[in-house]
Amino acid sequence: MKKFISVIVPNHNGSATIGKCLEAAFASAYENFEVVVVDDCSSDNSTSIIKRFPCRLIELKTHAGAAKARNEGALAGKGEVFFFTDADCLLQANSLALANSAINEAGTDAVIGGTYTRLPLDKDFFSTFQSIFIHYSEAKNCERPDYIATHAMIISAETFRRFDGFKEDFMPILEDVEFSHRLYRGGCRLLMDPEITVRHIFAFTLKKSFLNAYRKARYWTIYSIRNRDMLADSGTASRELKVNGISYLACLLFLLLSVVTLDSAWLIMAAVFTGLNIFAGRGLLAQFRKTGGPLFALKAALYYLLLYPLPVLAGSLSGVMEYARHR
């Protein structure tokens, strides 16, 4: 059964990507769909770009955030099924057909997630690192994912409305995580289908990669403390990433002890923790090699093991401090 699907896209100052997003959506091989774009009070020329396409455009009068924009899109959507994605994501030609097949098979009480393609549209190092990292982290647990991300969330309109959509007074990010947990507690099944993919446009530099890691770690930490699931294997907040951060701190401590005590035995402990970290992250490291080849895998492994923990740990510390201030 070919369900009518509403593709819902929030946009805020997305002029650099929204045109590509809509081109990809309307190039779909699936025919029974509409596109609803909610512009969240953009100050760039986004709306003039959006108006070139045969989509439904809703313009918010004040900037209200992605959760509000998605909810407004859902209110306007006529589809039996909603496919939420972002203004910097490109649906693949078969994304909607796969989404339709998946929800037909799973049933309307299921909420189904897709993920990023391994390679992003912009194939620089930092963007490629991020796309592989997210694809691996989200796709490794298909039967019981902890959450469904809104870059590719498929949910029946009835289920979405029954659970009142995204919380609009939540944090600036992670509203999809909160919504997923609420859906799960309400009896819905969360499923991941890694065949359903969107190609992301990152345009990442080292600075943007660090800022993204810091911001996500900060809000993840606040939410995880409140939710009492700090150790959960939750998508990009994976156990591998948590082991990576703990091992990094341990190695720094052992290196410092080695310098202070002039005892090389501490270096052995640092090597042990590094080995444990590599073992814990072996799946991700293998994905780097499979996707980008040996040279990329070496660079990605060094970045993941030696630099990436810095903004993650800084963001986590900031989150702990923020939580403590507002208890």
Instruction: Please say which residue of 182, 203, 224 terminates a domain.
Output: 203
Q: Which domain holds residue 23?
A: 5-203
Tens digits of residue pLDDT in 220-264: 999 999 988 888 888 888 999 999 999 999 999 999 999 999 999
pLDDT of residue 326: 80
Q: Are 179 and 256 members of one domain? A: no
Q: Are 136 and 283 members of one domain? A: no
Angle between helical axes of 265-280 and 239-261 (0-180°, round to 10) = 170
Instruction: Please say which residue of 203, 218, 250 terminates a domain.
Output: 203
Q: In terms of pLDDT, which residue wins out, 227 or 304?
A: 304
Residue 147 has pLDDT above 80, yes or no: yes
Q: Are strands 56-59 and 153-156 parallel, antiparallel or unpaired?
A: unpaired
Return the residue matching tokens 């990292």. Answer: 133
Q: Which of 100, 114, 111 is closest to 199 using CA atoms?
A: 114
- pLDDT grade, residue 70 (50/70/90)? very high
Q: Within a domain: residue 224?
A: no
Amino acid at the residue 170: F
Q: Within a domain: residue 215?
A: no
Alpha-carbon distance of 184 to 182, in angstroms, equals 5
Query: Is the CA virtual torsion 224, 116, 184, 155 positive or negative?
Result: positive
Let me know: does 18 contact 37? Beta carbons within 8 Å.
yes
Mean pLDDT, residues 79-106 taken together: 98
Q: Are 125 and 65 members of one domain? A: yes
Q: Are 33 and 160 members of one domain? A: yes
Q: Are 74 and 178 members of one domain? A: yes
CATH of the domain at 141: 3.90.550.10
Instruction: Please say which residue of 187, 203, 219 terminates a domain.
Output: 203
- 217 beta partners: none
Q: Within a domain: residue 156?
A: yes
Q: Are 151 and 51 members of one domain? A: yes
- pLDDT grade, residue 5 (50/70/90)? very high
* Structure tokens that stand for 94 in this block: 């078969």
Tens digits of residue pLDDT in 179-204: 999 999 999 999 999 999 999 999 99
| Count of structural domains, the chain | 2
Q: Within a domain: residue 227?
A: no
pLDDT of residue 237: 86
Q: In Å, what is the CA distance from 117 to each residue of 52, 133, 175?
A: 27, 10, 22
- pLDDT grade, residue 139 (50/70/90)? very high
Residue 327 has pLDDT above 80, yes or no: no
Helix (H) or strand (E) holding 208: helix 206-227
Residue 274 has pLDDT above 90, yes or no: yes
Q: Are 259 and 194 members of one domain? A: no
Q: Are 65 and 119 members of one domain? A: yes
Q: Are 33 and 179 members of one domain? A: yes
Q: How many CB atoms lie within 10 A of CB 187?
A: 7
Return the residue matching tokens 């202070």. Answer: 260
Q: Are 11 and 96 members of one domain? A: yes
